[in-house]
Amino acid sequence: MTAVLGSDSAVTEAPLMSRVRALAMGQTLVKVCYIAIAFVLVRSLTSGVWNEVALGLSIYMVATVATTLSLEQSIVYQVPLQTRIAALGFARRTLVTLSGLGVVSSLVLCLIEWRFAVVGFPTMVAVALTVLVDAPLAMVSPWLIVNQRERAAGWWMGSSALLMFCGVVCASLPSGATTRTIFFGMAIAAFVRLPVALRLLWPVIAHSSSERATITLRLQLGFCVPLALALTGGVLTRAIDKWMVAVFDPTALGSYVIAAQEIPLLSVLPYAGATAIAASLSRKLAHGRVEDAFDEWSQQVIAMIDVVVPITLALVVIGPELLRVMSGKSSSTAAVAFQLFTLIGLHRVTEYGAVLRAAGRSADVIKASLVLLVLNGVLAGTGGAIAGMVGVTIGSLCAFVVAWIFALHLLGRVLSKSIGEVFPWLIWMRAIATYSPPMVAVYAFTASIGDWTTRLGIKCLLLVVVVVGLRTIERGSIESAPTPMGRNES
């Protein structure tokens, strides 16, 4: 497909939801594979080896986020602002920089191991080799997305996660598997991806024009480093509530880690939707077409509301049974925590930072991340001191609500809208009001069923009937309307 690189001309694009589905499937598979790795390893390894592997995986995750400085994000947001030749030069410079950062990070990891003996030198070498390869390969998905190859990007993300899963799990299967063998399995999986990545990035690698990128490395870092800080804040936000449980209700920590697990589909849908329109938003905002950018963003949000709201409410209904499937245990307290944590997903109908990044408001991205981090720490800590695990969850839920309103305020400043105008409140509340009563009825109707597997099956069957029925009624009312009913764009 012809690249969009820097062009604002009309191009043939796949429908928005088709692009979102492609990215969501890839990102969902990534999340599922990470969860599957943890579940397989915790059941196949001795507790001592699992503790070492868990520590090594945490080092790998932190190193992966920190190494790239989020430079790969600039491909989606800054390539569309340049001419095709300049954009290729920009992408090539980014690839070289990411490769250099991978080398530096790998050496730093080995130096840390040599000085502090964290996980053993062979294990750290395997982690360093994986980071060395992962750093430049982080550019593959953004490069495919900016060239409108969302399906290929989804396949790349999903297949990469599957390779990692196969490498780690296969290395853990032999009896006597060690931390070293598991991480070398992960490193081998990373190197297997390398030839495919070189093929996908070949236009960038082969670029030899003397025309320089119009965006300097300094400006690129100015855009990306704040984003990297925001992502770090996001990682801490996902961890701080668990730390609060460890402080105030330590015996419930294991249950809470499972209860606070993000459902992969819900966690990736908003990010996939925002990523699908990121390049277009950047072009529109760069050319001062604020109203057009708002219309496109609103369209994406409304489309996501139709998907996210029923899925979220359905997960709340089957929460107790789903938690038992994941953990193998029945706990009413953990079930309540899981249901409350799932309710946070009702506002995740988009990735709100996408508009801020598209507008170059990196400082606002950091502000939003810090507000959520601080609120989560304060409110989750207060809730934990009062009511243990459930109190932590309630505190986190309140923190997300307040931080959401603040994020909408920041978005309103970019899009010249008030908080009441920047988000389709009526459509969102109507969706909640439509699906909540029948789903509450399903929950109440099945509460007296003793066997949890039977209860789960009946719940799922009734939920399918509810969603399909409401969708059919809604479609029929639209078709029978005398005039088309559009979105109020005032």
The DSSP-derived string for 70-113 is TTTHHHHHHGGGS-HHHHHHHHHHHHHHHHHHHHHHHHHHHHHH
Per-residue pLDDT tens digits for 306-332: 888 999 999 999 888 887 776 666 667
Crossing angle of helices 16-44 and 290-317, rounded to 10°: 40
Nearest to 130 by CA among 179, 194, 54: 194
Cβ neighbourhood burial of 253 (10 Å; 0-12, 13-18, 19+):
middle
CA dihedral angle for residue 64, residue 367, residue 307, residue 466, rounded to 10 degrees: 120
d(C-alpha 256, C-alpha 391), whole Å: 12
Q: Quote the pLDDT of residue 60.
A: 86
119 CB contacts (<8 Å, ≥6 apart)? Answer: 52, 55, 56, 59, 113, 127, 179
238 in Cβ contact with 369 (< 8 Å)? no
Convert 126-137 to b/e letters by CB count within 10 Å (16 or more is b): bbbbbbbbbbbb
Q: Quote the pLDDT of residue 487.
A: 44
The ranges assigned to domains in the chain are 1-215, 236-490
175 CB contacts (<8 Å, ≥6 apart)? Answer: none
301 in Cβ contact with 417 (< 8 Å)? no
d(C-alpha 16, C-alpha 337), whole Å: 34
Nearest to 361 by CA among 422, 282, 279: 282
444 in Cβ contact with 451 (< 8 Å)? no
CA dihedral angle for residue 306, residue 293, residue 146, residue 274, rounded to 10 degrees: -30
Tokens 């946070």 sit on residue: 344
pTM: 0.65
Q: Quote the pLDDT of residue 8.
A: 43
Each residue's pLDDT, cut to its tens digit, for the chain (490 residues) gives 334 454 444 444 556 667 777 787 888 888 888 878 877 776 777 766 766 777 777 778 878 888 888 888 888 888 887 888 888 889 899 999 999 999 999 999 999 999 888 788 999 999 999 999 999 999 999 999 888 888 899 999 999 999 999 999 899 888 778 889 999 999 999 999 999 999 999 988 987 766 677 788 888 888 888 778 877 777 667 666 666 666 777 666 556 666 666 776 677 777 777 777 777 888 888 888 888 888 888 888 888 888 889 999 999 998 888 877 766 666 677 788 888 888 888 888 877 777 787 777 878 888 888 888 889 888 988 888 887 878 888 988 899 899 999 989 998 888 888 888 889 999 999 999 999 999 999 999 988 888 888 988 999 999 999 888 888 887 766 556 554 444 444 3
Cβ neighbourhood burial of 368 (10 Å; 0-12, 13-18, 19+):
buried
Tokens 């088309």 sit on residue: 484
d(C-alpha 259, C-alpha 397), whole Å: 14
d(C-alpha 118, C-alpha 115), whole Å: 9
DSSP for 244-298, please give it.
Answer: HHHHH-GGGHHHHHHHTPPPHHHHHHHHHHHHHHHHHHHHHHHTT-HHHHHHHHH
Q: Quote the pLDDT of residue 7.
A: 45
